[in-house]
Structure 1
Amino acid sequence: MLARQRLLGAGTVACALLCALLCMLPARALASATQESVLMDDNEFIYSSPQHIAGRLDQLKGLGVDRVKISISWGLIAPDPTSRQRPKFDATDPAAYPAGTWDRYDTLVRLAHQRGLKVYFQFTPPAPQWAIPRQQPTNQGIPLGQTPHSGEFGQFVQAVGRRYSGTYLAPAPAGSSSSSTSAPDAIPRVDYWGIWNEPNFPSWLNPWYRKLPHGKREFLQPSAYRGLVDAAWNGLETSGHGADTILIGETANFGNLTPMDFVRALYCVSPAYRPLTGAAARYVGCPTAGNRGHFAAQHPGLFKATGFAHHPYSFDYSPGRPYPARTFVTLYNLSQLEGLLNRTFAAYGKSRRGGVPLYLTEWGYKTDPPNPFVKTSPAQQALWLDEGEYMTWRDPYVRSLAQFLLVDDAPNSMYPVGSRLYWHPFQTGLTTLDGTRKPSFAAYRIPIWLPVARHGHRVEVWGQLRPADHTSLQSAALQYRRAGSASFETIREVRTGSPEGFLVAHVALPSPGQVRLMWQAPGGGELEYSRAAPVG
């Protein structure tokens, strides 16, 4: 049972409880009431020792993360990745790849499975050099994102799908299992996939244009990505993953094409949601003639994928404010992307009941300290992560929100110390590089948000007990501290009302101060607190 602290005076308590009973509403039955908590940090989970990975996964479990997102990098697994000559091997057969190249991923999948954590594999570049067309120009980006032959990519996807089907037998890599035997056993199944990373950004998919007569350009990223989606869709279906969660998009806000323009070009529709024809189609690599039915049949992954993934960074701006660059799709204006996807699907006669789901698969805020070139403080990071969680909970299209980084990236030592490029990596972690917890660590674990942060008779308090056991209702104490008071006092108990531990209460707060949630896991353990949310 939740530990109790000293309550407010009897009269205040009675008033608060009566108002709460009369005004409390159950958690809203929104689609996002079941949204997953995802976290991505490749440095911690695929470029570390099994012992380190195990410790970090334990940390994620303690934070209440549901799923860990992992870049499954083709170039780390493929044979002879720097050779222009394709090796002779069956690229669809996991056993045909070099010994040991799968170990980092096998280890992660096994260790996550042991802890009840789910895995999300995102196929990412670089591709092996032998999979890059020889005639392809290389002066429009970095080798990381060179567009491969889609057929070769599809074979690689099929190999990954076969290995992580849930039935593929392989010895556990050293350190990935508590068993002392090296006998082969089945690698746990992965059933959640993302296709490529930020295909509208030149570093991740290039070349991004080719010159046409009369000074015109053809934007190559939409058609290149369409081919990658086709190949990956076929590879996943062939390997038994057609019914899995499969995400396309993974779009960036910075890019050669804005997220909205990229989606229109990917689906070959005009701003009026009519199929492109003629020169307008040619400029973005779309068929210049044909009917809607043919296009949808030729590209099933575009229309049958589980949902669309986007990275809604708003950098030094809170999620509740419009970003100055109106071409960005942030949490503030997600409805624009939602409307675009729904109208695009409708244009092809492929409308979905409830709309096209959105998966927000990379998000966070860099902080100062340590990065002196950003304006977001660690306290603001904590505040904005909670606000963003609340906003996505309210959005019925959103199925998941992914925190980018558990631990801050190290500075880039290739550049002068203290320069902007030195600090170019992401300091979006919940801890600093030395392991110091930022305020966002506790805020992420138990988010709290007041949509209207003013005292009154009916103040809405939203929160989440992210690490709680979501198979049963959980309780927390809602605590209040008047302005000028030295201590918090419990005013009522609140309960979760959804599978992911979300809760909503309406309470009377008689004067300015602060509110917070206090939670203790059933059976004992340390008391855990949300941040203290101010009430004006």
Structure 2
Amino acid sequence: MPRHRFIRRALTGAALVATLACAPAQASPTQESLVQDDPLLLGAKTQDDVDLAFRSLAGLGVDRVRVSVFWDQVAPGRDSQEKPEFSGGGSGSPASYPRAGWAPYDRIVLAAQRTGVGLLFSVTGPAPAWATPGAHCVKAGPFRGCQEGVYKPSPEEFRLFVQAAATRYSGTYELDAPPPPKRDGFELPELGGMNLNEPPPPAGKGTVLPRVAHWSVWNEPNYPASLLPIWRDDRPRTKSQMVGEAPAHYRKLVDAAYTALDATGHGADTILIGETAPRGGKNPRQLDGPMTPAEFAREVYCLDSKLAPFRGRAAALRECPRNASERREFASRHPGLFRAQGWAHHPYSLAGGRWHPPTWRHPLPDNVPIANLGRLTSMLDRSAARWGMAEARKSIWITEYGYQTTPPDPTAGVSPARQGPLSAWGEYVAYRNPRVSTIAQFLLLDDRPLEGLAESDPGRWVTWQSGLFTVDRQPKPSLADYRTPLHVVQRGRSARAFGTLRPAAPGLPMNASVEFAPANRPWRTLRTAPVSGPSGYVNLPFRVPGAGQVRLVWTDTATGGRTASDPAPVRRSGNAG
């Protein structure tokens, strides 16, 4: 969801250390486990704290961490209308930016390298004021209030910023910085035991920053809190008269970012576009509303609802090719649209403040919750083919996902007990789609609500409460479900048990067993199978003996150690999942 400025909170990586076993993340070439928590990682003040957080993430079995690279947090003169002086090579050089702006990201790349956790850098707005058309105050969301940084950010200035970031994290950039500050002594109560090795020596002058090889371009550009304007304000009377403006501007931002990444040696990296919010609408009376992700994607590729190129005035209004010659050159003029390996998306099953199960489909077909990802892949495939690039089939990267809980949010959410099973169900839906490359958990720790508002005021809860831990650093029930997700699909007496042991080391020889227990009876094994393939997932069929519970039990064949998932109910007969 929109996160224009990370909400600072007094946390360190030690918040998560206690309950997470310190094992390497499981390799998953077909579906990685991705986590995002900008407040936790960008708000940490020392290298020690970031190292602890990443070691906890590794112990939890996280393959990759998505990090927002906020343009206005790194650039100087964020609120100035005039571009400041950039010494040392201009705004395309990382050395020209304040050292403090890069410091959180330097700590993150070093911690990721030490723990073997991958990174996805999402280079995004808001822009500094000097990179927008001029003083234009807009309501950009609860985190920034009235700001202009999302209004028509300059593609050329964005290109230079991406160039600076890509240069700094190219794998060859030498860090020139004083020793990091000592830890401030702020400790958090331990949640349990965990053996931590001594952290490596701090980075200082002479340290070469690790390379970042996964990038995405701009967060939720179909959402007005992230990019404005979404629609042209030409007083449309009907839906058919509405013209999107954000897709054309996003096309320019993708062009700029791809040019910068390619020029700095990142052209062969994994580059993602999209990062779309899951839902929107179309109302001529609400031109400040979001655009549905499927319509947004079509218009980025200059295609109408029938996936035909816009022509004539419709094309001109959208800055799309207006004649045959321009249409022939469209793919070559916009290489980032076709060479990007994936489309990133945030397929929350959410509408009207209500959370739905992962099989729910939005009544507007151009909205894309997790159950409707096939519409997005089909549309992207047909869009590429329409421009003669049928081979440019994109994978889907789920870079945000999860369920908010009530409590703490009294206005929208599911019970803490349902959060984990619903997320596991969503992971199963993603697993069944061969085009999905990642499944995400958005936030480890709940955000704090906004201060100064009543507990029952929905405005207090515009922050996000989908973490595995509460804001007070207490584990939710979903923490156990994340470590060992289980989803059972039942059709009559036939059923399947889907899950994984997320923290398992890559290649660890394991067996997975489906165990069953009637009420108040001991567990018995229904079937056992070796865990094959680097992803570590199993989807085991079994016959349901009767009403009761099932669980997955993972056995280390070398040591005999066993780890069991939380159980899930099964019926004597019936359908579920």
Fold shared, TM-score > 0.5 on shorter chain? yes
**Residue in structure 1 matching 2:498, options 462, 473, 482:** 462
Q: CA RMSD in A?
A: 2.4
Relative to 1, partners in 2 of residues 1:180 and 1:376: Cα closer, same or farther, differing over 3 Å?
closer
**1:452 match: secondary structure:** strand
CA contact (8 A) 2:214 2:269 kept: yes
CA distance in structure 2 between the aligned counterparts of 1:285 and 1:204, rounded to whole angstroms:
21
**Residue in structure 2 matching 1:205, options 205, 208, 227:** 227
CA distance in structure 2 between the aligned counterparts of 1:133 and 1:468, rounded to whole angstroms:
51
- Could you tell me which residue of structure 1 aligns to residue 10 of structure 2? none
CA contact (8 A) 1:144 1:203 kept: no
CA distance in structure 2 between the aligned counterparts of 1:273 and 1:210, rounded to whole angstroms:
21
- Could you tell me which residue of structure 2 aligns to residue 363 of structure 1? 401
Relative to 1, partners in 2 of residues 1:452 and 1:138: Cα closer, same or farther, differing over 3 Å?
same
CA contact (8 A) 2:180 2:203 kept: no
Relative to 1, partners in 2 of residues 1:408 and 1:528: Cα closer, same or farther, differing over 3 Å?
farther
1:191 Cα offset (Å): 0.4
- Could you tell me which residue of structure 2 aligns to residue 441 of structure 1? 479
**Residue in structure 1 matching 2:516, options 457, 466, 480:** 480
CA distance in structure 2 between the aligned counterparts of 1:525 and 1:438, rounded to whole angstroms:
29
- Could you tell me which residue of structure 2 aligns to residue 163 of structure 1? 168
- Could you tell me which residue of structure 1 aligns to residue 41 of structure 2? 45
Q: Deviations over 1:334-389 (max 9, x none)?
A: 11111111111111110127x32111111111111111112511222111111111
Q: Superposed, which structure 2 residues align to 1:224-373 within 5 Å?
A: 224-255=249-280, 256-290=290-324, 291-315=326-350, 316-352=355-391, 355-373=393-411
CA distance in structure 1 between the aligned counterparts of 2:338 and 2:41, rounded to whole angstroms:
32
Relative to 1, partners in 2 of residues 1:144 and 1:430: Cα closer, same or farther, differing over 3 Å?
farther
Relative to 1, partners in 2 of residues 1:436 and 1:519: Cα closer, same or farther, differing over 3 Å?
farther
The one-letter amino acid of 2:362's match is Y
CA distance in structure 1 between the aligned counterparts of 2:345 and 2:167, rounded to whole angstroms:
27
Q: Superposed, which structure 2 residues align to 1:123-202 within 5 Å?
A: 123-134=123-134, 137-139=136-138, 141=140, 142-171=147-176, 174=180, 178-179=200-201, 182-202=204-224
CA distance in structure 2 between the aligned counterparts of 1:520 and 1:175, rounded to whole angstroms:
44
CA distance in structure 2 between the aligned counterparts of 1:117 and 1:371, rounded to whole angstroms:
31
1:398 Cα offset (Å): 0.7
Relative to 1, partners in 2 of residues 1:417 and 1:434: Cα closer, same or farther, differing over 3 Å?
same
CA contact (8 A) 1:442 1:529 kept: no
The one-letter amino acid of 1:292's match is R
Matched, 1:68 2:80: no
**1:112 match: secondary structure:** helix
Q: Deviations over 1:152-195 (max 9, x none)?
A: 10011011111101111115762796225733121111000110
Relative to 1, partners in 2 of residues 1:180 and 1:112: Cα closer, same or farther, differing over 3 Å?
closer
Relative to 1, partners in 2 of residues 1:54 and 1:335: Cα closer, same or farther, differing over 3 Å?
same
Matched, 1:56 2:53: yes
RCO (CA 8 Å, sep 6+): is it higher in 1 or 2? 1
1:521 Cα offset (Å): 5.9
Relative to 1, partners in 2 of residues 1:201 and 1:493: Cα closer, same or farther, differing over 3 Å?
same
CA distance in structure 2 between the aligned counterparts of 1:524 and 1:174, rounded to whole angstroms:
41
Relative to 1, partners in 2 of residues 1:180 and 1:298: Cα closer, same or farther, differing over 3 Å?
closer
Relative to 1, partners in 2 of residues 1:363 and 1:180: Cα closer, same or farther, differing over 3 Å?
closer
Q: Deviations over 1:222-272 (max 9, x none)?
A: 111010000000000011100011000011123421111111111111222
- Could you tell me which residue of structure 1 aligns to residue 415 of structure 2? 377
Relative to 1, partners in 2 of residues 1:100 and 1:211: Cα closer, same or farther, differing over 3 Å?
closer
CA distance in structure 1 between the aligned counterparts of 2:411 and 2:130, rounded to whole angstroms:
39
- Could you tell me which residue of structure 2 aligns to residue 94 of structure 1? 94
CA distance in structure 2 between the aligned counterparts of 1:520 and 1:473, rounded to whole angstroms:
9
Give the unaligned 5+ runs of structure 1. 1-31
CA contact (8 A) 1:281 1:287 kept: yes
How many residues were matched structurally?
Answer: 500
Relative to 1, partners in 2 of residues 1:507 and 1:108: Cα closer, same or farther, differing over 3 Å?
same
**1:34 match: secondary structure:** coil
CA contact (8 A) 1:480 1:513 kept: yes
1:487 Cα offset (Å): 3.5
- Could you tell me which residue of structure 2 aligns to residue 223 of structure 1? 248
Which deviates more, 515-524 or 185-194?
Answer: 515-524
Return the TM-score normalized by structure 2. Answer: 0.82
Percent of aligned pairs sharing the same letter: 38
The one-letter amino acid of 2:61's match is G
CA distance in structure 2 between the aligned counterparts of 1:250 and 1:47, rounded to whole angstroms:
23
Relative to 1, partners in 2 of residues 1:132 and 1:116: Cα closer, same or farther, differing over 3 Å?
same
**2:429 match: secondary structure:** helix
The one-letter amino acid of 2:270's match is T
Relative to 1, partners in 2 of residues 1:206 and 1:522: Cα closer, same or farther, differing over 3 Å?
farther
CA contact (8 A) 1:258 1:328 kept: yes
CA distance in structure 2 between the aligned counterparts of 1:504 and 1:181, rounded to whole angstroms:
44
- Could you tell me which residue of structure 2 aligns to residue 405 of structure 1? 443
1:520 Cα offset (Å): 5.8
